[in-house]
Amino acid sequence: MTEKAYAATDKSMGKNNKHAKKIQRTAGDYVISFITYVVYAFFAFVCVYPFYYIIINSISANNLSDSGKVIFYPMEIHFTNYKNLANIPGLSNAAYISVMRTVIGTVLIVIVAAFLGYMFTRETLWKRKFWYRFVVATMYFNAGVIPWYLTMRLLGLTNNFWGYIFPMVVQPFYIILCKTYCESVPKELQEAAEIDGAGTMRVFWQIMLPVIKPILATIAIFAAVAHWNSFQDTLLLMTDEKLFTLQFQLYQYINRASSLKALVNSSTSSSAAAAILAQAATATSIRMTVTVVVVLPVMMIYPFFQRFFTKGIMIGAVKG
Amino acid sequence: MSKKKRSYIEFLYILPFILLVGVFSYFPLYGWVYAFHDFVPPKPISSETYVGFKWFISLFSNPVKTADVIRVMRNTLAMSGISLLFSWFPMIFAVFLNEIKSKPYRKFVQTATTLPNFISWVLVFSIAFHVFGSNGAVNKVLQDLGVITEPISFLKSSDHVWFRMWLWLTWKNAGWAAIMYLAAIAGIDEQMIEAAKVDGATRMKVIWHIIIPCILPTYFVIVMLNIASFLSNGMEQYYVFQNDFNRDWIEVLDLYVYNYATAGRGNYPLATAISILKSIVSIFLLTGANTASKLIRGESFI
């Protein structure tokens, strides 16, 4: 049988036995569906299990978690590790720094993005196009680590809390997002307010800011995550332990076994349960517990703000 | 108030922020002059310290430095190359995720796989340290199954570093990158797919002949962006994962610049010179990719 003829019979068979063909296709579909379900279950597991693993270990008996016995479920649950966190020198201060930079930094990023995004839509602004490009162009170049560091040192922003804040205030990408959003707001709204005598600033605070709230929520999430996760600026700028962030402290705990030993001793000796092996702090228990503490804020807000995340990347995709 | 005056006043409002951009983004460019000087930190540069292209030339004339540069470039190109080679993965991930009929399950998978994108590299490293440590879950399970007898030190080894770094990168980013493709798929005209189904197209055929061609432009943009940042893998991931065992294979350009500037008596000028060369090549890559995009798709992405 030639190929053509085969195709013809195949076609006619399909016509005559529509029912049979339909069943066949669903069988094929079924197999594909099954495979995709299994494969995606695997992907989901790979992404979630490590978090689960760290969490169950941080609440299991420390001698068991230290020897790798805790793999699937928590054993001999206790929360001493979390109570001991208060005894770890530098940790609460690092948490304070992390929270402060996240709060202050995020508020500034959001307000500045909203304000500049709005100002760049105002045709009256002097040399509007030029200044817009002046800001946006910075997304595409970078002087490099060393010139940046030397600049920061010149400005006295090394070993200075504001070194975390000021360089991140103007974020061109968020400004683009705000500008695009402002442009979609009907011009009549602003014009009406201006006819009623509202100035540039008043239009911004009372008219535009409430209108562009949805995009600001998206930006706030992104900015907060960026600030919370930031590690490199501590590495480059800060040598004063008082200014270390949680991310940086965690890295120190993982990499500096010697300093951790001191931590283990100090947090154990001051704990009443020191004698109980299952609850005595170990290097692993401290590392894992701190990891949970650092990861938890992100995990907590994450499911609630997922729709903002999606919205953010979509707008970004349109512009990018 | 005259219009002119108003436009100046509005400029005054944004001036503080323009200054911030100037100070933190443009002013550091001035630091490039250090690459042309014999600069030792506390001492300021002057006409006496000017050495011209000495540092640039030394990169190619000094055999030790040349070997360093070759090694670092090898790592950079390998890691970026592997990323580029597998850049289709998030797209395929999105395409098949879209095929899952159960909405709650799809949402769950999406939530689970996007989560790693929002944690820092330090946390990724901490997770790697614990899960892949000698007493970690992976080693324990492999030992229980009898696959290995001695724990493998996954992190303290130079085996397959490039590929493992790609795996971590993918673990962190793939779910997030897939969102963009899912959005593109959602934008496909439903009628087109329905029509194909009426004509007897199977699911695989719909994927191959309709969905993939429709999201290819998105993929193309991603590839171009990948090429534009070919030399800039960033340093954070490699910084946290580096150790004495894998340093020769993990040190990418960005990390090398940092390590070189901070190790021992840091050589700022040479590190700056490398940054400058990197920037120049990057600009060519960016404009090249942009031109290619204009030629092929008729629109630029900058």
Residue A295 and residue A204 share a domain: yes
Residue A315 and residue A177 share a domain: yes
Residue A261 and residue A174 share a domain: yes
Using a pLDDT cut of 90, give the percent of chain A over it.
45
Number of structural domains, chain A?
Answer: 2
Q: Is residue B141 part of a domain?
A: no
pLDDT score for A311: 63
Residues contacting B270, CB < 8 A, separation 6+: B35, B55, B58, B59, B65, B260
Q: What's the whole-number mean pLDDT along residues B55-80?
A: 91
Whether A15 shows a pLDDT value over 50: the answer reads: no
Select the residue from B119, B225, B282 to test the A interface by mutation, using most A Cβ atoms within 10 A: B119
Whether B41 shows a pLDDT value over 90: the answer reads: no
Q: Is residue B302 part of a domain?
A: no
Number of structural domains, chain B?
Answer: 1
Residue A246 and residue A145 share a domain: yes
Among A20-34, A226-240, B22-36, B191-205, which stretch is predicted with the lowest mean pLDDT? A20-34
> Last residue of a domain, which of A55, A79, A103?
A79
> Last residue of a domain, which of A48, A79, A110?
A79
Whether B38 shows a pLDDT value over 60: the answer reads: yes
Residue A177 and residue A220 share a domain: yes
Residue A13 and residue A28 share a domain: yes
B114 and A295 within 8 Å at the Cβ level: the answer is: no
A140 and B11 within 8 Å at the Cβ level: the answer is: no
- CB < 8 Å to A7, chain B: none
Residue A182 and residue A38 share a domain: no
| Interatomic CA distance for residues B87 and B85, integer angstroms | 6
Q: Which of A141, A231, A313 sits opposite B121 (nearest CB)?
A: A231
pLDDT score for A7: 42
pLDDT score for A13: 43
- CATH of residue B243's domain is 1.10.3720.10
Domain ranges, residue A273: 81-319
pLDDT score for A313: 58
User: How many Å lie between the alpha carbon of A49 and the closest alpha carbon of chain B?
Assistant: 10
Residue A205 and residue A107 share a domain: yes
Residue A267 and residue A244 share a domain: yes
> Last residue of a domain, which of A79, A101, A125?
A79
Q: Which of B27, B272, B302 sits opposite A144 (nearest CB)?
A: B272
| Interatomic CA distance for residues B255 and B73, integer angstroms | 11
- Burial of A269 per CB tally in 10 Å (0-12, 13-18, 19+): exposed
B14 and A131 within 8 Å at the Cβ level: the answer is: yes
Report which of residues B186 and B24 the model is more confident about. B24
Whether B54 shows a pLDDT value over 70: the answer reads: yes
- CB < 8 Å to B122, chain A: 231, 247-248, 250-251, 294
Q: Is residue B136 part of a domain?
A: no
Q: What's the whole-number mean pLDDT along residues A34-45?
A: 94
Q: Is residue B139 part of a domain?
A: no
Q: Is residue B129 part of a domain?
A: no
- CB < 8 Å to B130, chain A: 50, 53-54, 57, 284, 287-288, 291
Residue A108 and residue A63 share a domain: no
- CATH of residue A269's domain is 1.10.3720.10
| Interatomic CA distance for residues A279 and A268, integer angstroms | 9
Using a pLDDT cut of 70, give the percent of chain B over it.
98
Residues contacting B98, CB < 8 A, separation 6+: B106, B182, B185, B211
Q: Is residue B140 part of a domain?
A: no
Let me know: does B55 contact B273? Beta carbons within 8 Å: yes
Select the residue from B3, B9, B24 to test the A interface by mutation, using most A Cβ atoms within 10 A: B24
Residue A99 and residue A216 share a domain: yes
B171 and A46 within 8 Å at the Cβ level: the answer is: yes
Q: Is residue B24 part of a domain?
A: no
Q: Is residue B273 part of a domain?
A: yes
* pTM of the predicted structure, to 2 decimals: 0.88
Q: What's the whole-number mean pLDDT along residues B160-165?
A: 92
Residue A100 and residue A70 share a domain: no
Nearest residue in B to A285, CA atom: B130
Residues contacting A263, CB < 8 A, separation 6+: A88, A89, A253, A281, A286
> CB under 8 Å, gap of 24 or more: what pairs does B44-49 form?
none
Q: What's the whole-number mean pLDDT along residues A284-294?
A: 91
**Tens-digit pLDDT profile for residues A119-161:** 999 988 999 999 999 999 998 888 888 899 999 999 999 999 9
Q: Which of A25, A169, A251 sits opposite B20 (nearest CB)?
A: A169
Whether A302 shows a pLDDT value over 60: the answer reads: yes
- CB < 8 Å to A283, chain B: none
A116 and B14 within 8 Å at the Cβ level: the answer is: yes
Mean pLDDT of the residues in chain A: 83
B28 and A298 within 8 Å at the Cβ level: the answer is: no
Six-digit token pair at B185?
Answer: 């798929």
| Interatomic CA distance for residues B104 and B121, integer angstroms | 29
Domain ranges, residue B104: 56-118+164-297
Select the residue from A146, A234, A235, A292 to test the B interface by mutation, using most B Cβ atoms within 10 A: A146
pLDDT score for B13: 94
ipTM: 0.90
Whether B11 shows a pLDDT value over 70: the answer reads: yes
Q: What angle (nearest 5°) sits at the alpha carbon of residue A143, between those of residues A140 and A144?
A: 110
Residues contacting A146, CB < 8 A, separation 6+: B31, B34, B257, B261, B268, B271, B272, B275
Nearest residue in A to B300, CA atom: A320
